[in-house]
Amino acid sequence: MTTGVGAFLETNPLRAGLTRERAAGPCSVVIFGASGDLTRRKLVPALYNLHLDRLLPAGFALVGVARRPLSDSAFAGAIRDGIVRHSRRPLDLDLWKEMAPRISYVPATFEDAEGYRRLADHLARLDRERGTGGSRLFYLATPPSAYPTIVKNLALAGLSRPGAGGSFARVVVEKPFGRDLATARTLNAEVNAAFDERDVFRIDHYLGKETVQNLMVFRFGNAIFEPLWGREHVDHVQIAVAETLGVEGRGEYFEEAGIVRDIVQNHMFQLLCLTAMEPPVSLRPDAIRDEKVKVLRALRPVPAERALEESVRGRYGAGASGGSPVPAYLEEPGVAPGSRTETYAALRVLVDNWRWAGVPFYLRAGKRLPKRVTEIALTFRHVPHRLFAGAGASPNANTLALRIQPDEGITLRFDSKVPGPEPRIQPVAMDFRYGTSFGQEPPEAYERLLLDAILGDSTLFIRRDEVEASWGWIDAIEAGWAASDAAPAAYPAGSWGPAESDALIERDGRSWRRL
Ligand code: BG6
């Protein structure tokens, strides 16, 4: 008999249909940058959890490629360690015994043509010995500067085409995908010279989050919200990505990026697209991606000379995080003394189309804020005639907040009469929580995305034109900032960002939501 949580899961009608039926065909997954952080923290635990859910094919092999000389068993040991430390579910020894023999390692530098020939031979051998069927997924988990070299060498070694009997050769490219429009275009050209666009999977892990995918279901699977979703009813939209983390030893990378390149251009713009897009005609990958690109093309360009009016950049000083003192950004290892890099940004974005004309989208993202919260909130217009103004009706209008993480859920706030003879009114909330309704932790984003890439489903990956359209908008903001001598506005670590950010939204008679 199943008891407790197990029984709840089996009997909870909301869980019906949650089991995934998709199973992948045989293939090898080759990770370039196999000794890196991303591999250990995200990719390996994701593959293990897919294996645990029996979603990997019987003919499967994982091949690591990196510079360091390592034996297959030493690499498998590192993978095991990654699973033990970072998997959401503990390592099961029987499953590990099945997985370990499928792991191998090819030491090679990314420039070394001979290394790719060895890789090609190795993959052909796996096809024979492990039944991987000639299909390959190459995952670029390296510094971005290595991407062009790797894709070029893969093509030269004949690896951008499937092996004998195989059905695909695909490449997964991690962000950052370029650092501006010009570099993104060059990189796109280099990648597309080696792989067809349909075989290029540009990853943005936010799209793998369950709550982000639910945005489409919420909007287009329910009849009641969509009629309210636009300028007639929505006053403005706020999107926030707040993190308590600092740059976590990635000072050098962050110096080159800043929060706008690190988070806004990709993760936040994806949230913006999914919030603002029109209903796609179908769930085909291109039908959805077409609609997202239309949103990006409708963003009102901000001329560089107006960037400082429409945006705020901030940088954390010393302060506290989780009750402990933390250093200023400028004191972090790898940060240049005269740095102008921002760790916080607030932007006012307008979407010039029929649905959103005149509705501002306020975006804010920051490191070392007081809480980790990602949220999209629509604030609705006030009623046209305030009958209850004298009864304490809140000055806040109705809001619909989609909590992407943590405490994933959706909350609708509205006014209600307080019981009793007095005509008193108070805001209350109608709440949906994933944890309560579905009784299970959502899988990690990388699980879904790796499986989709193996299956060849590009819906949750970024298309070439999408990447270019988003950089096009960001470039002007970056150019405006670069032209200014001013340092980013200061905020203490552990606060909600600089005062200038409050001023940006208050200028329009609105304020940031309390997160
Ligand atoms: C990454 C950024 O893409 O996303 C990090 O490079 C950031 O700086 C991270 O911390 C946030 O991801 P998540 O899933 O924790 O919200």
Closest approach atom of ligand 1 to CA 254: 8
Q: Is 243 in the pocket of ligand 1 (CB under 6 A)?
A: yes
Average pLDDT, the chain: 93
Gap from CA of 241 to ligand 1 centroid (Å): 9
Residue nearest to atom 14 of ligand 1 (CA): 206
Is there a cis peptide before residue 45, judged by omega within 30 degrees of 0?
no
Using H for helix, E for strand and C for coil, what is the string for 466-491? HHHHHHHHHHHHHHHHHHCCCCCEEE
Choice from 213, 243, 447 to test ligand 1 binding pocket (greatest atom count within 8 A of CB)? 243
433 CA to middle of ligand 1, Å?
Answer: 23
- Radius of gyration of the CA atoms of the chain, in A: 24
Tell me what the mean pLDDT of segment 275-295 comes to.
97
Residue 322 half-sphere exposure toward CB, CA atoms < 13 A: 5
For residue 262 and ligand 1, the question of a CB distance below 6 A is answered with: yes
Residue 21 is encoded by which pair of tokens? 């039926």
Alpha-carbon distance values, 255 to 244, 334, 342 (Å): 18, 8, 9
424 CA distance to ligand 1 middle (Å)? 43
Task: State the pLDDT at residue 19.
Answer: 44
Residue 258 above 70 pLDDT?
yes
Taking 90 as the threshold, does the pLDDT of residue 388 lie above it?
no
Q: Please, which pLDDT band fits residue 407 given cuts at 50, 70 and 90?
A: confident
- Asked if 267 is an active-site residue, the reply is yes
Residues shown for the chain: 515
Q: Atom 13 in ligand 1: which residue has the minimum CA distance?
A: 206
CB distance 142 to 36 below 8 Å? yes
Give the pLDDT confidence of 175-188 residue by residue, as tens digits: 999 999 999 999 99
What average pLDDT does this structure show over 200-224?
A: 96
pLDDT for position 453: 97
Question: DSSP string spanning 33-64?
Answer: STTSHHIIIIIHHHHHHHHHTT-S-SSEEEEE
Cα(367) to centroid of ligand 1, in Å?
10
Q: From the CA of 253, give the closest atom in ligand 1.
A: 6
372 in ligand 1 pocket by Cβ < 6 Å?
no
175 CB burial (10 A radius; 0-12, 13-18, 19+)? buried
pLDDT above 90 for 5: no
| Band (336; pLDDT cuts 50, 70, 90) | very high
In the block, residue with structure tokens 């062009």: 148
| Percent with pLDDT over 90 in the chain | 86
pLDDT exceeds 80 at position 85: yes
Q: Whose CA is nearest to atom 8 of ligand 1?
A: 262
Mean pLDDT computed over 334-343? 94
pLDDT band (50, 70, 90) for residue 21: low
pLDDT at residue number 392: 66
Position 401 scores a pLDDT of 97
Query: Which among 263, 341, 405, 515 is the best mutation to test ligand 1's pocket, defined by most ligand atoms within 8 Å of the CB?
Result: 263
| Least reliable range by pLDDT among 113-122, 142-151, 439-448 | 439-448
The predicted model gives 200-213 an average pLDDT of: 95
Q: Which atom of ligand 1 lies nearest, measured to the CA of 209?
A: 14
Distance from C-alpha of 73 to C-alpha of 433, rounded to nearest angstrom: 43
Range 245-267 average pLDDT: 93
Query: Which of 177, 179, 204, 205 for a ligand 1 pocket mutation test, highest count of atoms within 8 Å of Cβ?
Result: 205
Alpha carbon of 334 to those of 177, 319, 324, 329, 330: distances in Å? 22, 19, 22, 10, 9
Q: For position 395, what pLDDT does the model report?
A: 64
User: How many angstroms separate the CA atoms of 187 and 309, rounded?
Assistant: 31
Q: Which residues contact 179 (CB under 8 A, 6 or more apart)?
A: 256, 257, 261
* Residue nearest to ligand 1 atom 15, measured at CA: 243
> Quick check: 192 pLDDT over 80?
yes
Q: Computed from CA positions of residues 472, 446, 262, 185, in that sequence, does the dihedral angle turn out positive or negative?
A: negative
Task: Give the residue, out of 239, 267, 374, 448, with the most ligand 1 atoms within 8 A of its beta carbon, to mutate for a pocket test.
Answer: 267
Answer yes or no: are the C-beta atoms of 464 and 188 closer than 8 Å: yes
Distance (Å) of CA 140 to CA 30, 197, 406, 433, 470 = 9, 16, 28, 35, 22
pLDDT, position 8: 37
Alpha-carbon distance of 379 to 216, in angstroms, equals: 19
Query: Which residues lie across from 65 on neighbouring strands?
Result: 32, 106
| Candidates 51, 122, 267, 385; catalytic one | 267
Q: What is the position in ligand 1's atom list of the atom closest to the CA of 243?
A: 10
Output the residue whose Cα is nearest ligand 1's atom 2: 262
| Global pTM exceeds 0.85 | yes
Give residue 206 CA to ligand 1 midpoint distance, Å.
9
Distance separating alpha carbons of residues 307 and 305, to the nearest angstrom:
6
Ligand 1 center–CA 129 separation, angstroms: 38
Cβ neighbourhood burial of 436 (10 Å; 0-12, 13-18, 19+):
exposed
What pLDDT does 175 receive? Answer: 92
DSSP state of 301: P
Q: How far apart are CA 504 and CA 510, in angstroms?
A: 9
Q: Is the CB of 444 under 6 A from ligand 1?
A: no
Q: What pLDDT is attached to residue 2?
A: 36
Task: Decide the pairing of beta strands 234-242 and 373-380.
Answer: antiparallel
Question: In the structure, what pLDDT confidence band is assigned to residue 360 with cuts at 50, 70 and 90?
Answer: very high
Average pLDDT over residues 370-389: 92
pLDDT at 237 over 80: yes
The pLDDT value given to residue 441: 76
Tell whether the model's pLDDT for residue 156 goes beyond 80.
Answer: yes
Q: Considering the chain, what percentage of its residues have pLDDT values greater than 70? A: 94
Report whether residue 193 contacts ligand 1, using a CB cutoff of 6 Å: no
Contacts of 386 (CB under 8 A, 6+ apart): 393
Q: What separation in Å is there between the alpha carbon of 506 and the centre of ligand 1?
A: 28
How far, in Å, from the CA of 38 to the mean position of ligand 1? 11
**What are the pLDDT digits (tens) for 25-70?**
999 999 999 999 999 999 999 999 999 999 999 999 999 999 999 9
- Going 72 to 195 to 280 to 219, the CA torsion angle's sign is positive
